[in-house]
Structure 1
């Protein structure tokens, strides 16, 4: 039997003991680091409270706070327990009956219809264990609430006015005004804001401050035409469910108009090219650049984002610089204008709702209002009807013409149609 030798490499790819031992230490250190690193975040009670608080819009928080303060002040004046969240349904119902019938402002005046409705809605939002609007336990307090509303309306307290549509002539003046010129920094950011608000039919203040460059995406249709839409499903006060099947329908679409100097998509792309990179907010304050130097300066905007109040008064600021418009408009007028124009074009309610995001036709109906020109036309119709009614209804009797037949007919029955040709 021949001698043979078998060689074993106990340390594999490491070759020797020292390298193997070093590798094992590195593996142990890595495993320890992974075990020490926690997968989930650690949150403090304060951070959890803030997350819960963020579920409501800012305006909802303010309204609810005002409502709770008003109701608490009423309870203190009546020397009752201000901790109304602990009230039973029957006690809360009795208290609300008195509250609805006697609540007044700090100046001792009755609230408007809209304010009274806001008070009830705010209390209902604050109290989580009852629904004071729909539950049967609060039937009597709601009956008094409706009676008070009826009295307010009779006394002329229903003075609420919906945001007016922008008239066709005013809309044309605003669009072509220097205030919305895409050739100046201020005009460019205003124009982009104006286009997005109108074509996406967004609410006046909701979510504007939270927009970023990543909120939008440019795409092309099957014919290669560019359009702008949202890159994500927007969250609004009426659309907070991330699993809703129709959320993508709310993204809005804004198509390009090639060759138009005021093209919506071109203005948007130009705005992005003039903004600095790595900015969190979408709407930025313009730099103060002399007109003669605009061509040579690449960045037209600063890193400073526009604030909520600044954006909330954007259309009002634009209107102040437009000559010849009939009235001042607010941001929400763009939303009501979108509803009115789409409705006048013959779109069905479901189609308009896919643009505006309304959940029901009833809420959409409140946005429609006849324009002043329409009301003028209706008045003219009634006026002309009054002046021409005599002419239309002054009928004169025509003389009867007697026809003598050359034959006589009697004592027979005809089944069907008979035609007589008499020459």
Structure 2
């Protein structure tokens, strides 16, 4: 019964790690039969090993295991294999702390050494992240009619894209778990617009268990797009609901297109599979001719990145994504323009310009007021005119200059 309560994704990871270890053990034991290899046989099954046997076997495992193509695993992958095996043993009722128990010092030292060695070789140092969709990329989806209310499939895909960006949903599983009851259409009198309100059910940061009992569920909104009704999330959601069967299941939101569609019904009562949903963005990008590593998680990263690039406060971004820690920063991808600006700052700003302070009647001219460095710069420029006027309490300065290409002017005003 305990195993049944473990998330399916965790069980899949456990199977991957255990199967990888069992494959290595079998292959090693075959080689051990040949005296020329001078290696020992590892007889016990993983779950039946003592701590000392685990310490030796896992130390050999992380040292010798290779990918199917013969290449080395990245250090991070080896670490995950060891931690997943530890979790598997815990599920089976065998508690082990591989990185904290002194009994496993050999395993810890071996793993640490291999991780450092492979990082130094550049193996696994680049973390593969789902790429962010630019506004132009999204426009390609719309302009090429890959999403929209044109066909059952394009309307379905539009839901995935719009919900993924506007509600910052995670990958395939969170889309697969989405239920109609989590989305409610409301009207805001303050702004005079309809909007959709999404309420989180369960997620990576809110599993609904004891550890999450005090966690506030994410509630976020998406207002109707009155500037471009063809792309309006509220209108498209209404259209989708009207074209679903009257006896639609209430535990899933995304339904498969019907084999025979009618004017009133485009969809069947069968839910779209998790794997099919997970491939939605990758399929759309391929059809739109967009190259790169794009997944459904790109929609979530796109949401955070767009808000970050527009200067939104981190708390507002966290409310949209549902993050409860600094992990949100990994989703805020800097643009090339921001990186260019940082580079310019690091390479040095233009020479400091003199302050234009309180120009009024009886004040000196700009060349007399500025320092020698600015005098030199002004004298090297042509067509420089300075006009000073005293209008009540307002200081007015008009500056015109034709500067050489690449030159900069900085005006700084000090309030007296």
TM over 0.5: yes
CA RMSD after TM alignment: 3.4
Alignment deviations for residues 96-115 of structure 1 (CA, whole Å, 9 cap, x no partner):
33322222224432112342
Tell whether 2:39 aligns with 1:55. Answer: no
Which residue number in structure 2 is paired with residue 368 of structure 1? 332
Counterpart for residue 234 of structure 2: 265
Alpha-carbon distance in structure 2 between the residues aligned to 1:317 and 1:367: 22
1:130 aligned counterpart, secondary structure: coil
* 1:212 counterpart residue number: 179
Q: Is 1:99 aligned to 2:61, yes or no?
A: yes
Native 8 Å contact 2:24 2:65 kept in 1: yes
Write the distance in 2 (CA, Å) between the matches of 1:134 and 1:348.
39
**Which whole-Å CA distance do the structure 1 matches of 2:219 and 2:111 have between them?**
38
Whole-angstrom CA distance in 2 between matches of 1:328 and 1:96: 33
Match of 1:155 among 121, 138, 141: 121
Max radius of gyration: which structure? 1
Question: 1:55-96 CA deviation, whole Å, 9 max, x = no partner?
Answer: 3133x3222211111222334425224433343444433433
More strand by share: 2
Instruction: Indicate the SS of the match to 1:252.
Output: strand
Per-residue CA deviation, residues 350-400 of structure 1 (Å, 9 max, x unaligned), is 443333233421x333333333444455556678x59x89xxxxx98x9xx
Instruction: Measure, in 2, the Cα distance between the counterparts of 1:327 and 1:202.
Output: 21
1:305-316 aligned within 5 A? 305-316=271-282
Q: Is the 8 A contact 1:276 1:302 kept in 2?
A: yes
Cα separation, 2, equivalents of 1:174 and 1:135: 53
Whether 2:156 is the aligned partner of 1:189: answer: yes
Question: Cα offset for 1:249?
Answer: 3.3
Considering Cα pairs closer than 8 Å and 6+ residues apart, tell me whether 1 or 2 has the greater RCO: 1
Q: Is the 8 A contact 1:221 1:227 kept in 2?
A: yes
Residue 226 to residue 349, structure 1, CA distance change in 2 (3 Å) = same
Residue aligned with 2:173, SS: coil
Partner-residue secondary structure (3-state), 1:208: helix
Q: In the superposition, relative to structure 1, how do residues 108 and 327 fare at CA in structure 2: closer, same or farther (>3 Å)?
A: closer
* In structure 2, distance between residues paired with 1:96 and 1:239: 33
Of 3, 23, 45, the residue aligned with 1:73 is 23
SS at match of 2:172: coil
1:331 aligns with 2:307: no
Q: CA deviation at 1:226?
A: 3.1
Q: Could you tell me how far 1:274 is from its partner in structure 2? A: 0.6
Q: Pick closer, same or farther for the CA change 1:319–1:107 going to 2, 3 Å.
A: closer
Task: Name the TM-score, length of structure 1 as normaliser.
Answer: 0.68
Flag the 1:247–1:193 CA change in 2: closer, same or farther, 3 A.
farther
Counterpart of 1:83 (choices 45, 49, 52) is 45
Write the mapping of 1:16-415 to structure 2, written as runs, cut at 5 A: 48=1, 52-58=3-9, 60-76=10-26, 77=28, 78-128=40-90, 129-135=95-101, 137-158=103-124, 159-221=126-188, 223=190, 225-230=193-198, 233-242=200-209, 244=212, 247-258=215-226, 260-261=228-229, 262-280=231-249, 281-287=252-258, 297-322=263-288, 325=290, 327=292, 329-361=294-326, 363-376=327-340, 378=342
**Matched residue count:** 334
Shift in CA distance, 346/228, structure 1 to aligned 2, threshold 3 Å: same
- Preserved CA contact (<8 Å) 1:114 1:160: no
User: What CA deviation, in whole Å up to 9, does each residue of 1:170-210 have, x standing for no partner?
Assistant: 23333444111224322211111111111221221123223
